[in-house]
């Protein structure tokens, strides 16, 4: 029971408190680039969730059972990049062949994720964890990505109709919004004490 509770708390913690975008500053490019329309933000968020989970599922065993016994931990970054890139292409290939609805939702976003540092960041962090915690990290991080990019897109859609000074229109006001969101999320810090649950 305690393990399940700590698993759920870890997911919430990675999702809200230690958010991948607003706290760890990963995936900013897609956050700013795609977060201007709700539909595209949700599509990108779903694609990132899918690829992050798959990458965590594949990369953790590769690191633990191949790189560590062969004493090649120094190769983790290049191996993870190649694994993520291959995984994205394979998933794209199967989606193209088998699922029209998924292709319509994720199709154009999948190739973009190859260079999304959020996925690589999660996989890199997972090398220090056990399998359960690495999956919690992957799930919480991707849900946090979806949450923040969705909220950001909603705000940006409303800002399109707002009377913003000319100098702040577009990306400048988006960056100000991102900063305010980071402050808001910072206020949630300390909500869950991971140390007391044995998660640190």
Partner 1 sequence: MSQTGYIIIAIAIVVALVAIFTISFVAYIKTPPPAGCERGKGPNCENCEQSSCRFYAYAEERAAKKLKEEKPSTKKGNE
Give residues in contact with partner 1 (CB under 8 A).
Answer: 34, 37, 39-40, 43, 66, 70-72, 75, 78-79, 82-83, 85-86, 89-90, 92-93, 96-97, 100, 103-104, 107-108
CA dihedral for 123, 128, 134, 139, sign (positive or negative): negative
Three-state secondary structure call for residue 99: coil
Tokens of 171: 């990306």
Looking at the Cβ atoms of 49 and 105, the one nearer to partner 1 is 105
Looking at the Cβ atoms of 24 and 37, the one nearer to partner 1 is 37
Long-range pairs for 156-163 at CB < 8 Å and ≥24 separation?
A: 156/35, 156/36, 157/36, 157/37, 157/38
Three-state secondary structure call for residue 172: helix
Minimum CB separation from partner 1 for residue 108, in Å? Answer: 6
Minimum CB separation from partner 1 for residue 29, in Å? Answer: 14
CA 119 to CA 52: how far, in whole Å?
A: 5
Looking at the Cβ atoms of 12 and 85, the one nearer to partner 1 is 85
Minimum CB separation from partner 1 for residue 148, in Å? Answer: 18
Looking at the Cβ atoms of 85 and 147, the one nearer to partner 1 is 85
Distance of CA 57 to CAs 21, 100, 132, Å?
22, 25, 10
Tokens of 135: 């999956």
* C-beta of residue 161 within 8 angstroms of C-beta of residue 37: no
Looking at the Cβ atoms of 79 and 164, the one nearer to partner 1 is 79
């Amino acid at each position: 029971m305690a393990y399940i509770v700590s698993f759920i708390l870890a997911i919430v913690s990675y999702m809200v408190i230690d958010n991948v975008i607003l706290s760890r500053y990963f995936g900013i490019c897609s956050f700013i680039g795609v977060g201007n329309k709700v539909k595209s933000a949700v599509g990108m968020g779903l694609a990132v969730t899918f690829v992050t989970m798959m990458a965590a599922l594949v990369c953790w065993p590769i690191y633990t059972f191949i790189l560590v016994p062969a004493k090649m931990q120094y190769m983790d970054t290049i191996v993870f990049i190649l694994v993520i890139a291959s995984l994205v292409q394979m998933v794209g290939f199967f989606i193209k062949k088998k699922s029209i609805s998924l292709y319509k939702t994720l199709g154009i976003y999948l190739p973009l994720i190859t260079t999304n540092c959020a996925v690589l960041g999660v996989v890199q962090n997972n090398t220090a964890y056990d399998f359960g915690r690495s999956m919690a990290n992957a799930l919480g991080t991707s849900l946090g990505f979806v949450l923040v990019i969705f909220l950001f897109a909603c705000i940006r859609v409303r800002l399109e109709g707002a009377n913003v000074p000319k100098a702040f229109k577009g990306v400048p006001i988006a960056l100000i919004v991102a900063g305010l969101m980071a402050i808001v999320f910072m206020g949630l810090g300390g909500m869950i004490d991971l140390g007391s649950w044995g998660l640190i």
